[in-house]
Structure 1
Amino acid sequence: MIYFYAFCISCIKVINVKLQVKYCDRLKGNIKVSGSKNASLALMACCLLTNEEIVLENFPNILDTKNMLKILKEIGVKSKYNVFKKTLKLKTIKIIPNLITKNMKKLRASYYVMGGLVSNRLNFESLYPGGCSFMNRPIDYHLNAFEKLGYEIEKSEECIKFKTSDISDFPIEIKLEKPSIGATINILIASVKRFNKTIIYNPALEPEVIQVIELLNKMGAFIKYDNQKIIIKGVERLHGTKFKIMPDRIEAGSYLLLGLAHPTSKITLTNVESKYLEEVLTVIRKMGGLINIKNQSIELISPTKLNAIDVVIDIYPSFPTDLQQILTVVCTKAEETSTITDNIYVGRFSQVKELNKAGCTIDTLDNKIVINPTNLSGTTLEAQDLRCGFACIVIGSIANNVTVIEKSENIFRGYEKILTKLRKIGIPIKKIE
């Protein structure tokens, strides 16, 4: 058995990468969906809650997980990655409470490490998290919750100082103004070892949140939830365990929408859970796509012509905001005008600028866009963020002439072996200097 202590992205250079994409008529082939990016980043931080080994199965080899591992290593976590079995072993040796590291800036989910240090009642300083910059995304929900859990928070332009204050033995109630996946997970991590009970009202209950609850319970936590609240009964000690990461529902949705944009295509996704994609599959069917589900696979047969659609983006199980930018590109292929309203992130429309470069006219009004049918033309685009990057790939694959995508390193943050998978279904794509 071969293990690698150095966690690396498989032979991919991810600095100043440009991609060239050419038009492709019909897609055909199979793609194996990787483990969930969003779940894995939160699950990795849970290793800070025990000094025993955590084993994560179906682990995605992507840039974001690499950067998360760098942070964990800097604060005292050892790791082993098996590239063949796709398992990651994590073991916290001795926590070094310092998050003043440039790696915090490389991904937004780095804030889960804050929750791990809060759970251990440590004083520390941290840089602000990074990640996609499609809009101003404060972490006030997280910091307010940490204050309720007994921390003094001091914010400056450069960093945040965390200092333990009054440790309450009484039950604590935290009500989120809006359901937030990140804040819900961070409260779970931060409060699971409290002496008393913590209740989160109006929590996010996305599948990735449930994964964290399942892992923590497997580690010895006592957490229950319903549609209105999560109840965490604190435990003194958590133990190690083995846990399988769910398939990435956003990656699966990305490839399904890519296939939908190409008439008469036939692609099959394996290692996928259709129950997490019900609204995505509903939208695809409404636009004319044929979906066949069998065990852990989804087959898509795209129509000759696409129907227009009016979609509202909202919290799970509604259509996910992470697929909104990609759906926008698909709508340019519809017979009539489509609309998309994003109730999660007002202004998450970086793809509109890129579509305008390719010849599409899109009307924007607050959190709503109107997409007109357009024959797109190849040009130079910019992957302004992760999902915008995949949207640019879809643009390039349906546009006339050649498309060049700059800042493509953003795409490698969240899609494992993306070039291999795209070529496998017929997309002419390559890295260029």
Structure 2
Amino acid sequence: MMNDQDQPDIIVIGAGIVGVSAAIAAQARGLSVVVLDREGPAAGASAGNAGAFAFTDILPLASPGILKKAPKWLLDPLGPLSLPPAYALQIAPWMFRFWRACASGRVAHSTAAQTALMDLSKAELEPFLRQTGTAAMLRKDGNLQVYEGETELKASLPGWKAREAHGVEFHHVDAAGIAEIQPGLALRFTHGTFTPGWYSIADPKLYTLALADHFCALGGKIERAKVTALRPGESGVDVVSVGGASRRASRVVLAAGAFSHQVARTIGENIPLETERGYNTTLPLEAFDLRTQITFGGHGFVVSRLSTGIRVGGAVELGGLKLPPNFRRSEAMLEKARNFLPGLKPHGGVQWMGFRPSLPDSLPAIGHARDTQRVIYAFGHGHLGLTQSAGTARIVADLLTCKKPAIDIASFSPQRF
């Protein structure tokens, strides 16, 4: 319940999966919470992601391997990684930091930090689902990574060795093994790796909306507001929205995804957040008999089975927040999927583009603002917002209640740049 002045203990900025999860975790600690979002729950990347809890995906995007692939990919404007010329100059400082993060020592550090957050997130997930009445939405169908030939498999082995060192379960399969796990793949895929510990959610948008309903049913409030600035003071934080409207709370959690750095800038922090624009097409369920999520790593996309359809999506377009969508990228992935899954029916799909908030070293920013303990950051999860939402929520709740976080969060310091 709100206090007499209708001032909540906490304002969470952002009603995506990380923000709503953090709001629920704070609420469970006895805090009154209001969530502010420019569009409402699940309006951004939380609506259109692949629906995977990719706990085994511990290797950072910033790595020597991506540096080897990037030049070839960048030559194809519809390939797995693209950089529109109109945005190249603006993103250059971020790309320099990304390049530095690809050094082997930094990759090892990021992998260890990512593993700790993944382990926490996995441990927190099922209790969180039970708490929120969403456990029936969880699936444990695994993930199948497929390769076009032994050379591509061998190139992936260092990554699997790193996962093995961190306790990730997987097994390599040949063409017959692929067919047993997922019939209907093109014969060009001769090798694969199956990861049984790969969970997914029935539908990421419906999951986020269900969490929002749970939060509101317990007295939380979600309001539409485009936040433009924070004004911390001795007794609280004023949250300023378009038009000059202001709300005050004792503390604020900034979890506004790809827009978070704009708000952080108003309290003097320049955090190098960039936007990986992701594309997908969601086909009707009858489009293909999909039994596990399939990752076409050499082509930068996945095919996922949701309760609402078959989703074909992924890839990275480093294009910021303002350039218009290039849905030819969705069409290119769908055409590849049709060739890779010959029985796929590619008709009747719905296209989507969303903003993935990404930091150069592939780790999120979780922790206090530089100049005030009243503002906590929880953004920059890249492809892993859904995956790391329960773990991030636990950390945020610990910080809000002055408890030692469940893991060491030094590697996620918003000031590390």
- Normalising by the smaller structure, the TM-score range is under 0.3
The alignment's TM-score, normalised by the length of structure 1, stands at 0.25
- Larger helix share, 1 or 2: 2
More relative contact order, 1 or 2 (CA 8 Å, 6+ apart): 2
